[in-house]
């Protein structure tokens, strides 16, 4: 697929890149000349992805990270800077639907984990991304992968629906906070990866 957007030479972090939507984001960005930091917990799957991107002429590196651990998020940005320099694009894709069950059967730990991986991680990673751009006076883009569950509540998934609804509102508030610094923030329900999601990454008029 060919796009008219120019992202050549930009650098992106894609969380949850070892499979699914995150993997596809990484491949599409790399095909457009973006240096991609592929981040996820499953390092062996990341290695396969990076090898595929590299064989096709792209630039990518794998960084193992658990997005629920703030010290690992800190190291993610240290590693990204050492490999490719400052990061221009952030794809907050990592998350988990968790086990489906009615609310009266759910434990507090299951609820807490869903919020940490789906919502708190977006806050923690976005905060660090914004700080490194503001410090050097560069613009950037954030895409937070949400879900239709944020707007149409599913059965037996209160933890997932609530966390994804939180992502949607977090995105709206962050976009207001970060607009003066040239950092755009979008919440996308990426049910079909392609132009609809990819277009939100582009806004550099070079």
Q: Write phi, then psi, for 194 (nearest 5 degrees).
A: 165, -140
Residue with tokens 């209160």: 158
CA 158 to each of CA 67, 115, 135, 161: distance values in angstroms, whole numbers, following the listed order: 21, 11, 38, 5
Whether 160 is catalytic is yes
Residue 175: CB atoms within 10 A of its CB come to 15
C-alpha R_g of the chain: 16
Which position among 3, 113, 160, 200 bears the catalytic label? Answer: 160
Which residues are marked as active site?
160
């Amino acid at each position: 697929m060919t796009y008219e957007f120019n992202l050549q030479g930009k650098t992106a972090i894609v969380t949850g890149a070892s499979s699914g939507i995150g993997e596809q984001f990484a491949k599409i960005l790399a095909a457009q000349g973006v240096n991609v930091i592929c981040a996820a917990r499953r390092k062996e799957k990341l290695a396969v992805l990076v090898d595929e991107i590299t064989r096709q002429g792209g630039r990518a590196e794998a960084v193992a990270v658990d997005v629920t651990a703030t010290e690992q998020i800190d190291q993610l940005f240290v590693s990204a800077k050492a490999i490719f320099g400052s990061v221009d694009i952030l794809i907050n894709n990592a998350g988990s639907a968790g086990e489906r069950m009615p609310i009266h059967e759910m434990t507090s730990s299951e609820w807490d984990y869903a919020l940490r991986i789906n919502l708190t991680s977006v806050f923690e990673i976005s905060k660090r991304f914004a700080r490194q751009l503001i410090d050097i006076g560069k613009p950037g883009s954030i895409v937070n992968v949400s879900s239709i569950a944020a707007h149409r509540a599913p059965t037996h998934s209160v933890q997932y629906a609530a966390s994804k609804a939180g992502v949607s509102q977090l995105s709206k508030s962050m976009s207001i906070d970060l607009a003066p610094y040239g950092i755009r923030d979008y919440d996308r329900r990426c049910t079909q990866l392609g132009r609809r999601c990819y277009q939100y990454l582009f806004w550099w008029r070079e």
